[in-house]
Structure 1
Amino acid sequence: MARFSGKVALVTGSSNGIGRATAIVLAKDGAKVTITGRNAQRLEETRQEILKAGVPEDHVLAVAVDLVSEEGQDKLINSTIEKFGRLDILVNNAGTAFVDSEGRVGIDQDVSDYDKVMRINMRSVVTLTQKAKEHLIKAKGEVVNVSSIAAGPQAQPEMTYYAMSKAALDQFTRSSAISFIQHGVRVNAVSPGCVTTGIGEAIGFPPGAFEKMASFWESHKECIPSGKVGQPVDIANVIAFLADRNLSSYIIGQSIVADGGSTLVMGMQAHDMMAILTSA
């Protein structure tokens, strides 16, 4: 029997990237899945990918909504319960950043960008989790939040607002985990490093800019020690692990870092000290 057989999962931001990969992994492992995003065309592409994996059509529900909207969130939860009758796994994956229209970064960005980032990356997570709470308690379910290594402790001077939202998400993960575990519901998170998700162009980078940056990171040990930018499925597999109580039952309120080693290195560690010590 597939490990998520009989379970129902709701994955936000599943029209591409990590969300899409997560929905596919969970569905292939037996879960019925609700996929959601604002772009109906990309959402349909996700649905088709799931069906190509051999998943029955009635195991997939696509709901195109704006997650920032309370009405959209209500539709998302109600549609899931109406179709599947329960909710076992909530994956809060939807998130974004914004490139300032005037090219400003960090603390120089207009505070309206801060408001937009926090509404999507943090407020929507809080309110959707609140709306899903009663159903998760009934199912003794799981919540997995998608954070980022940008949450710290390293500074993020160019993406300050994004980093702040993810730091807040980490605290929400810890605090809500204690509240939820009293009801048998686990809350955890994953903190990805650099992952090829398509977010670059979505937030306003020129076409190919993210790929150029990723290529630089891969070639510099101080950026990604493993020498490889992550793929969405790499993070999806961690999410599936955290959603699988048989494998991760004693993990409560934690964030698993999946970053190819990026957060483990400092400047001096990024170079081969033995080669320097033994050189003529």
Structure 2
Amino acid sequence: MDYLKEYLPQSVSGKKILITGGSTGIGRAAAVLLSAVGAKVIIVGRDENHLADALNDIRSKAQKESSAWGIIADLSTEEGIQEVFGLVDRQFSGLDVLINNAALAAGTTQEGNYKEWQEVVNTNLTAYIACCSEAVKRMGGEGHIINVGSMSADVREETGSVYVATKSGIQGFSEAFRKQVNSKGIKVTLIEPGAVDTDMQPQSAKEKIEKVNALEMLSADDIAVSILYCLSQPKRCDVVDLKIRPHLQII
């Protein structure tokens, strides 16, 4: 079964990867895993303490301690996007992988106000578009962009209409964007998880662990492994759309 070597994560070794929302949750888990198999990662976060803690965790498990960097940036602003890609240009020559993952929770139109909705839309959707645009400029002949969406794009729960709007937007954008850039040798993957044990979930840490053990919630590591799977495929294989839900999240 030598052909299985084509599908092993060794293909990620040495790759230059940018992960937004990389200081907590899915982004942090992905950064830990990818650096552990030899990738070089830059993570973007919003909180200094979370970022510092994440970098310590990543570097302690990485193949090389010098393979992880971080930046605090507000991705809801054009200035924040520019700061992130300024670091990419200083630290990397080009970019191999972008993992769009940063997101803010949001409820319905009866909650919040225009300014708060604008920040959510800018962070959850506009930043994805902007980061994709900037990443493509730095991918020479091949690359891979993974957009982390949500099952909310399909379920469309009434309790989160604003959040649903952004995740539905990511779904539509990803499909059209793939058609735009595939001829450039760039892959685009949309991953849409169900409930995941992250800070976005309102339950206590204990309650979330109980849900994971009861097969009602995924761990962030589950999605990180899925990201690695998508990145590890040979050039001829595109994982276009991957939906992952807890076994007992029956919707």
| TM-score normalised according to structure 2 size | 0.87
Q: Distance in 1 between matches of 2:84 and 2:156?
A: 35
Corresponding position of 2:5: none
Corresponding position of 1:160: 161
Q: Distance in 1 between matches of 2:141 and 2:68?
A: 19
1:57 is matched by which residue type in structure 2?
Answer: E
2:238 to 251, 255, 258: 251
Measure how far apart 1:262 and its partner are.
5.7
Q: Is the 8 A contact 2:216 2:248 kept in 1?
A: no
Which aligned pairs between 1:107-126 and structure 2 lie closer than 5 A?
107-112=109-114, 113-126=116-129
Measure how far apart 1:83 and its partner are.
1.3
1:44 to 37, 52, 58: 52
1:91 is matched by which residue type in structure 2?
Answer: I
Q: Secondary structure at the match of 1:67?
A: coil
Q: Distance in 2 between matches of 1:262 and 1:114?
A: 32
Corresponding position of 1:146: 148
Cα 1:211–1:174 shift into 2, 3 Å: farther
Which aligned pairs between 1:18-37 and structure 2 lie closer than 5 A?
18-37=26-45
Q: Secondary structure at the match of 1:95?
A: coil
1:162 is matched by which residue type in structure 2?
Answer: Y
Q: Distance in 2 between matches of 1:142 and 1:88?
A: 6
Q: Is the 8 A contact 2:20 2:43 kept in 1?
A: yes
Task: Give the unaligned 5+ runs of structure 2.
Answer: 1-8
Q: Deviations over 1:119-177 (max 9, x none)?
A: 110011111111121112x050000000011111x331101110111011001110000
Task: Give the unaligned 5+ runs of structure 1.
Answer: 99-104, 220-226, 267-280
Measure how far apart 1:22 and its partner are.
0.5
| TM-score normalised according to structure 1 size | 0.79
How many residues align structurally? 242
Q: Distance in 1 between matches of 2:219 and 2:22?
A: 15
Corresponding position of 1:189: 190
Cα 1:159–1:143 shift into 2, 3 Å: same
Corresponding position of 2:97: 89
Q: Distance in 1 between matches of 2:182 and 2:141?
A: 13
1:4 is matched by which residue type in structure 2?
Answer: V
Greater Rg by CA: 1
Cα 1:193–1:179 shift into 2, 3 Å: same
Corresponding position of 1:240: 228
Corresponding position of 1:224: none
Q: Deviations over 1:238-271 (max 9, x none)?
A: 111222242x74225x3211112467x46xxxxx
